[in-house]
Structure 1
């Protein structure tokens, strides 16, 4: 399969799930990147080393076997040298994440094409709503667990090599993800969501093989485990320009903490949401926050972000 350096044939297989479910619920889809040579281990090793040299902040890696599903990201030991993590990945329990792979023009072409197709399939003009774009590549050792977490990003996860299981929970399930945990996540602690093994049966599980992908809306809890193979995945993701979701959760966190009240969750009351958004936004962009508040009072729909 040729490397995508310009517009080519369709990469994402069309599905009616895109317009119906996008950013509302998780769903599986299919793609045609499994044989692309950019995702072979030697090429990815080059990319990781170049990222470490030129954009060190965009490279994360660790190594450790028997990682617990509910482990916090800040509990891992200091990582080994990058060469060790890469060259011994079959045996050392490594988890490598290369952010912003689109710094490399070849990976940028893939990201741009995927986003263009996702935009067409979902009916959303992403160019108008994206704040931060990220072509994020995961390389993980056999049987390695990716711990339970939620993300700020809207995510399309494409499985390229190897197989693994992903377990996805509904963010609206208050047993799995209480409001307090989401509020802390947006305000003070990226590890705030806590895995509850007794609620594992609330998850929908997908077995990912090369050519499969899953869509993860913002804040949907999930964890993954590789099968007995090295896995390579591409996360095509972005954050929304709209800061409303985070502002409401941050306001609720402070209301709960300092006033000891149980605040109304987001997206239930335009008036409540608007006031919280204005309050949390006014220090850096009061005009934009006030404009959104007025639109809500006029009955405009609240976008689920």
Structure 2
């Protein structure tokens, strides 16, 4: 793999964020962003096909391009013997693939960290608050559909090639939201059972992107070309704590108990997060962000 390549000399930054991003990160609202990554040789279809062949089989998720908007089951992982060949022929193979944890390859790790260092400069309340960084690449056939799902991390979805519409939604009510959160930790990994209500579409072309906060339902319709995009994810201390509590509650549900959801008891939330840290379960549940619910 080649090392991080130079960006346009006209831009010192890789991302265009600003005050709107910092505010959206705090209030957990989706917001449009822009970037200067389109045209980077690391993101050609050929380079990504090579990356897919270089990654471990368990770091590649693949599924058919033609999906229903509600598809509750998590997609398969490691099912393609040579995923690079699928990517090289996406015009005819009607598939989408997600490459997990691209930071396993040094060139992509360098680029991911350069981008997220810029994010940290905008959102960090204290040094190191942007943590547990991970990167994913999504590549899919023309007119593919990604079912409605959500992610547990803060996500920055950046369009690199082709076009797509990302529709941001909301759950019908708090009860539905909590049920879907619990399904995530019980194995659904973000694929939802009930179609959320559409709130706002984001039409993405190369150089454009969207910030998606944790537990923000969304779904995707690709345009008439092969689509390539990258998602950069991170936790903050608060979002990491939220997920520690959810992970603890998932353990209790497996034992037939009915735990109190996060946010209803500060004392219980602190205790649950502390126990999870003490057990070291964070590495098992968050380890390098390899769980994935859908393909963008």
**What TM-score does the superposition give when structure 2 sets the normalisation length?**
0.79
Structure 1 runs of 4+ with >6 Å offset: none
Give SS of 1:22's match: helix
Select which of 45, 69, 86 maps to 1:41.
45
1:164, 1:227 within 8 Å by CA — same for their partners in 2?
A: yes
CA contact (8 A) 1:155 1:235 kept: yes
Over the aligned positions, Cα root-mean-square deviation in angstroms equals: 3.1
The 5 A counterparts of 1:1-305 are 3-4=5-6, 9-22=12-25, 24-51=28-55, 55-62=56-63, 64-74=64-74, 79=80, 81-125=82-126, 127-131=128-132, 133-170=133-170, 174=173, 177-191=176-190, 193-196=192-195, 199-201=196-198, 203-240=199-236, 243-250=240-247, 252=249, 254=252, 258=256, 263=260, 265-278=261-274, 283-284=279-280
Q: Secondary structure at the match of 1:121?
A: helix
Other structure's SS at 2:49 match: helix
> Across the two proteins, how many residue pairs are aligned to each other?
272
Question: Could you tell me how far apart the structure 1 residues matched to 2:200 and 2:91 are?
Answer: 28
Which runs of 5 or more structure 1 residues have no equivalent in the other structure?
Answer: 286-305
Separation in 2 of the partners of 1:240 and 1:248?
14
**Secondary structure at 2:209 match in 1:** strand
Distance 1:126 1:61 in 2: 37
Which has the greater radius of gyration?
1
Gaps of 5+ in 2: 282-296
Q: Deviations over 1:83-119 (max 9, x none)?
A: 4412220122211111222232222221111011111
Change (3 A) 1:260 1:97: closer
